[in-house]
Chain A
């Protein structure tokens, strides 16, 4: 089955700096890669996703890049703000077979943005 590795496990940055979180996956059939943000005690919420037919996607201060050959994808947050502090999870899934959309998650990155 799919295996997703996420690094780093913790990331501390100053307000205004950029933050990068990286994930690798094992199943070359995976074709959908969402990123979720989970604030303390809250439910995970999707912040951005990318499908395998594109290499990069951007939404304001957030961007995701995908390298299917190397089987890795990254989350980039620019101009970080204290409210970006949360746990971020990457995930991978394959839209096909008998289980569409089943997500395999990375272990999470605790991002702390210091004012």
Chain B
């Protein structure tokens, strides 16, 4: 079946502009996560959605970052007034359900470059 997909695969933007990154989770997966991977670094948790529950936003680095998940499926991560330090690969992952730590399946990522 189809895996997690993300778009765009690459995004180059000028400092100060807003960007939107999209994630399509695996069908039927109720949990969705966003992570950020800076060059040569590990993965940093950003935000977590589970069903209709309030999202866990504890990893968002600033109020310029926000995310939403419509209809329990597609998610959009928005970065406002981008800064050069926002340059990274943004990875989305989804998993089966709450209540047990099932495997998280990752998308291919969006490489964001802020010039």
Interface residue ranges, A against B (CB under 8 Å): 1, 6, 31-32, 34, 36, 42-46, 49, 51, 89, 91, 93, 95, 98-108
Contact = CB atoms under 8 A, between A and B. Distances in A.
A107 B99 contact: no
Given A99-B58, A101-B31, A103-B35, 20 more contacts: A34-B104, A44-B43, A45-B106, A95-B100, A98-B56, A99-B48, A100-B31, A100-B98, A101-B95, A101-B101, A101-B104, A102-B33, A102-B48, A102-B59, A103-B45, A105-B35, A105-B42, A105-B43, A105-B44, A108-B41
A103 B56 contact: no
A2 to B, nearest CB: 10
Interface of B: 31, 33, 35, 41-45, 48, 50, 53, 56, 58-59, 91, 95, 98-109
Contacts of A34: 103-104
Identify the 6 closest CB pairs spanning chains A and B, nearest first: A32-B101, A99-B56, A105-B42, A43-B106, A95-B101, A105-B43
A94 to B, nearest CB: 8
Contacts of B106: 36, 43-45
A43 B45 contact: no
Given A34-B103, A95-B99, A102-B45, A43 B56 contact: no
B43 A103 contact: yes
A27 B99 CA distance: 19
Contacts of A1: 58
B42 A93 contact: no
20 contacts: A6-B42, A32-B101, A34-B104, A42-B108, A43-B106, A43-B108, A43-B109, A44-B91, A49-B103, A51-B101, A99-B56, A101-B31, A101-B33, A101-B95, A102-B33, A102-B48, A103-B35, A103-B45, A106-B42, A107-B41
Given A99-B56, A102-B33, A43 B99 contact: no
Given A43-B107, A43-B108, A108-B42, A102 B56 contact: yes
